[in-house]
Amino acid sequence: MSHTAPPLPTEVPIAQDATIIGLVGLAHASSHFAHLLLPLMFPVFMKEFGLSYSELGFLMTVFFVVSGLGQASAGFVVDRLGARPMLFVALSIFIVACSTAATVTGYGGLLVVAALAGLGNATFHPVDFTILNQRVSAGRLGYAFSAHGLTGNLGWAAAPVFFATISSLSSWRMAYLAAAVMYVCILLLLIVQRDHLATQVAASDRDGPVEHSMAFMKLPVVWWCFGFFLISTMTLAVVQSFSVSILKAMHGVSFEAATLTLTAYMLCGALGMFVGGFVAARTSSSDRVVALAMGAGAALLVLCGTGVLGAAASMAVLASTGFAIGIAGPSRDMMIKKATPKGATGRVYGMVYSGLDVGFAVSPMIFGLFMDRGWFGATLVGAAVTLSLSVVAALGVGRRTPGSRVA
């Protein structure tokens, strides 16, 4: 017999929806914060442990391979056990990962941290979207997806400031201990507010065929969604992992200025998410919104990669790229929702968003080689090429979504 979330009334108070959106947004921000636990300290690790760009890139490959494999599996677990317990487990793993990072003495320890953080990250998308789709009013889902993406970008934006500030005041090891304390506080808050995070658990179908739970994988649109996330995420991985080093190498800007540019990129992305929420709520052509926004972002990246801009202009244009890509976020999530079969939210989101992890895993290895050879501009142009390919993938999803317009 399945457990169910409290039934929602026909007219859900906006305060109730807002609370759920806020709690899920906080959880999402914490997962995005974890994406940068290691990359922000790459310059420190290079000096402290004598590592190369390729070795540092491999740390992120480990993170996202573990996250991707875990995420594809986590969707099935979320559908069977519920989203809330998986969320609590994930935050507990982040606490362990940050505590371990504070004590590492070499590359082996960093690999352990990467694996732990990746495991913690694995459950968030199937958990978040299961809670939002089940607990938030249908008419407010566009805004919920906007807030979800916005808080994720805020998590990215907060991480550089958090680590730079605490490291400068104390040490990089103390910064990791502070991050562990932060995750403890978030976990305690969500436990206190746990009633808002209850979800319906999928009932087992004893009379159905054994392969029933895997039937969604036969749908071509699911794999087009997977491909879209894989390709588009490769661009984001370049910005997160290497933009600081690229700006320093191409334009001689300081570490602090380059780090603030990364923060500005994330903040612009959050603003784009906010605007994109209104766009997503007012248009049914989600794939076309995604394609236009991603295309604009690719053009801006090419401009940065050419090297014709000065330091200040390059930093400004790179930050504005985040706004263009951010606009696509809520429409992207609506695009995936439309392609998701009923009753398979956790499984589909787990599988599709594992493409995000694959993109994050592959990109540092490829573009880390570019960086080791000093191809800094080519790294940004390569990121623009992958973003352009995601335009094709988004339009492919739209054409293959049941009930979509005929191209």
Q: Does residue 3 fall inside a structural domain?
A: no
Q: Are 221 and 337 in contact (CB under 8 A)?
A: no
pLDDT of 337 over the 70 cut: yes
pLDDT of 14 over the 70 cut: yes
Q: Does residue 1 fall inside a structural domain?
A: no
Q: How far apart are the first and last CA of the chain?
A: 44
Give per-residue burial for 58-84: e unless 16+ CB within 10 Å, then b.
bbbbbbbbbbbbbbbbbbbbbbeebbb
191 or 147, which is more confident: 191
Number of domains in the chain: 1
Q: Which two three-digit tokens encode residue 90? A: 């994930």
Tens-place pLDDT, residues 93-140: 999 999 999 999 999 999 999 999 999 998 888 888 889 888 888 778
CATH of the domain at 351: 1.20.1250.20
| Domain carrying residue 76 | 14-194+212-400
Cα(36)–Cα(51) distance, integer angstroms: 18
pTM (global) more than 0.85:
no
| Mean pLDDT score of the chain | 83
Work out the burial of residue 105: count CB atoms within 10 Å of its CB; fewer than 13 is exposed, 13-18 middle, 19 or more buried.
exposed
pLDDT at residue 342, rounded to an integer? 64
Q: Does residue 202 fall inside a structural domain?
A: no
282 or 2, which is more confident: 282
pLDDT at residue 279, rounded to an integer? 86
Q: Does residue 9 fall inside a structural domain?
A: no
Across 32-36, 126-130, 402-406, least confident range = 402-406
Across 9-13, 161-165, 290-294, least confident range = 9-13
